[in-house]
């Protein structure tokens, strides 16, 4: 007997006793649904985190130097040299100096933070210039009093829509605005768009110890992030001789670590939920055993008319598999519905990946087949004479 015929027979069997079939499937439905909800939420969470980190640049490396003492520092030029020596993995590097200072625009105090950066800072962050230009090498070399502002300055009413060419004061020094960066967030106060960038050579003057302790660099590709980090770390070690005195952190690596942790947590939770699939399987086995007893006579007839052991066995296994697969499909649909309702509560789009849906489906089929095996074997081994005598 072909698979298709067994399958049609199974569908027929299920459709003649719908309520019973539904109750048999219930364990599988609940099990699959909970696995789908958990993996859906986990996936939604991961997507959310990935989006967040991608906003910060996945190729970006943050370098922090905490080394103290004059013989244990590294010069800006040396940092640029390191980048140049490893240019196959490092595209750009830029100092990043946070300025403690007050920004005043036309007698108005702003809460904007000021950062001293290199000429490649724009490229490292993959930002675009909205109008004007970015800080250039000669601005840094000649310590020009120029600045680039975020799109907040083009949208607030301080300068109107065209701040380029206007002047603002940082700790009392006048800086000319030479460019505006495109909108990154939503152009509101305190957002990323609320920024003022100046040449790092000027920023260093504002800081007390006149050393640069942080840099940002970008790797040449997503794949070379780790190589870039290791290259920088190696060079820094040669200077500091102690890896506690510096840190090179890659956003991608943090994201990867977080995703790995997330995967483990989701895996454990899904595994726990998966136990209910086992219980569902036992439910199927139970009903199938009852069904074999009830249908002893049918089995006897089939055997008398020439059904071989494997015909009977495949009939019952396919019936169990079909029941449980149907339960799996219902469970997937139900789980996705629940996940899409829970998602918004956590502000995420909870949607399981296609491979976890396929996995849930194949596990439910597998559970049915596995737990259908014992009843099917029992049916196949029935003696036709005894089975026919059964009333």
Q: Given the rule CB under 8 A, which residues bind another protein? A: 1, 5, 12-13, 16, 297-298, 300-311, 384-385, 388
Q: Cβ closer to another protein: 172 or 306?
A: 306
Block residue for tokens 């007390």:
208
CA 206 to chain CA mean position, Å:
39
Q: Which two tokens stand for residue 64?
A: 């922090």
CB contact burial 36-71 (16+ within 10 A = b; e otherwise): bbbbbbbbbbbeebeeebeeebbbbbbbebebeeee
Closest CA to 26 of 376, 287, 379, 292: 287
Residue 173 and residue 184 in contact, taking contact as beta carbons nearer than 8 Å = no
Residue with Cβ nearer another protein (91 or 323): 323
Nearer to another protein, 144 or 302 (CB): 302
Minimum CB distance to another protein, residue 320 (Å)? 18
Minimum CB–partner distance for residue 297 and another protein (Å): 7
What lies within 8 Å, CB to CB, of 128 at 6+ separation is 122, 181, 182
Provide the minimum distance between the beta carbon of 359 and another protein in the complex, in angstroms, as a whole number.
Answer: 35
SS (H, E, C) 268-337: HHHHHHHHHHHHHHHHHHHHHHHHHHHCHHHHHHHHHCCCCHHHHHHHHHHHHHHHHHHHHHHHHHHHHH
The nearer residue to another protein, 273 or 307, going by C-beta atoms, is: 307
In the complex with another protein, the residue whose CB is nearer, 81 or 298, is 298
| CB 340, min distance to another protein, A | 39
- C-alpha distances in angstroms, 98 versus 3, 137, 217? 71, 19, 16
State which residue, 8 or 337, has the beta carbon closest to another protein. Answer: 8
Min dist CB 8 to another protein, Å, is 10
Residue keyed to tokens 């027979």? 9
Give me the least distance between CB of 305 and another protein, in Å please: 5
Q: What three-state secondary structure class fits 104?
A: strand
CB of 313 to another protein, least distance (A): 11
Q: Are 140 and 178 in contact (CB under 8 A)?
A: no
175 has which bridge partners? 168
Tell me whether residue 13 or residue 101 sits nearer to another protein (CB atom): 13
- CB closer to another protein, 265 vs 385: 385
* Shortest distance, position 26 Cβ to another protein, whole Å: 23
Torsional sign, CA 302, 306, 311, 312: positive
């Amino acid at each position: 007997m072909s698979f298709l015929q067994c399958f049609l027979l199974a569908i027929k069997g299920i459709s003649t006793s719908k309520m019973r079939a539904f109750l048999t499937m219930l364990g599988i439905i609940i099990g699959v649904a909970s696995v789908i909800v958990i993996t859906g939420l986990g996936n939604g969470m991961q997507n959310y985190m990935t989006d967040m980190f991608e906003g910060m640049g996945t190729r970006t490396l943050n370098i922090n130097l905490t080394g103290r003492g004059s013989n244990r520092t590294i010069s800006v030029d040396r940092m640029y040299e390191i980048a140049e020596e490893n240019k196959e993995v490092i595209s750009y590097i830029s100092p990043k100096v946070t300025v403690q200072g007050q920004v005043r625009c036309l007698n108005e105090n702003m809460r904007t933070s000021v950062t001293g950066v290199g000429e490649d800072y724009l490229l490292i962050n993959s930002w675009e210039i909205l109008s004007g230009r970015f800080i250039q090498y000669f601005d840094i070399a000649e310590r020009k009093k120029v600045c680039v502002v975020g799109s907040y300055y083009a949208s607030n009413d301080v300068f109107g829509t065209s701040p380029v060419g206007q002047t603002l004061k940082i700790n009392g020094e006048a800086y000319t605005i030479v460019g505006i960066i495109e909108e990154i967030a939503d152009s509101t106060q305190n957002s990323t768009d609320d920024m003022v960038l100046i040449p790092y050579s000027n920023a260093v003057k504002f800081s007390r110890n006149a050393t640069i302790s942080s840099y940002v660099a970008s790797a040449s590709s997503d794949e070379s992030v780790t190589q870039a980090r290791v290259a920088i770390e190696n060079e820094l070690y040669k200077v500091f001789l102690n890896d506690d005195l510096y840190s090179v952190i890659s956003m991608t690596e943090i994201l990867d670590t977080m995703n790995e942790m997330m995967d483990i947590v989701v895996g454990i939770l899904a595994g726990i939920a998966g136990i209910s699939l086992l219980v569902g399987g036992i439910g199927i086995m139970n009903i199938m055993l009852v069904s074999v007893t009830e249908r002893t006579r049918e089995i006897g007839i089939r055997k008398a008319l020439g059904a071989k052991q494997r015909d009977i066995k495949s009939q019952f296994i396919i019936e169990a598999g079909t029941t449980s697969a149907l339960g799996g499909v219902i469970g997937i649909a139900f789980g996705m519905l629940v996940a899409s309702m829970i998602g918004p509560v956590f502000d995420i789009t909870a949607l399981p990946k296609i491979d976890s849906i396929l996995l849930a489906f194949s596990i439910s089929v597998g559970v049915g087949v596995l737990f259908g095996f014992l009843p099917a074997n029992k049916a196949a081994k029935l003696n036709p004479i005894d089975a026919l005598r059964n009333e």
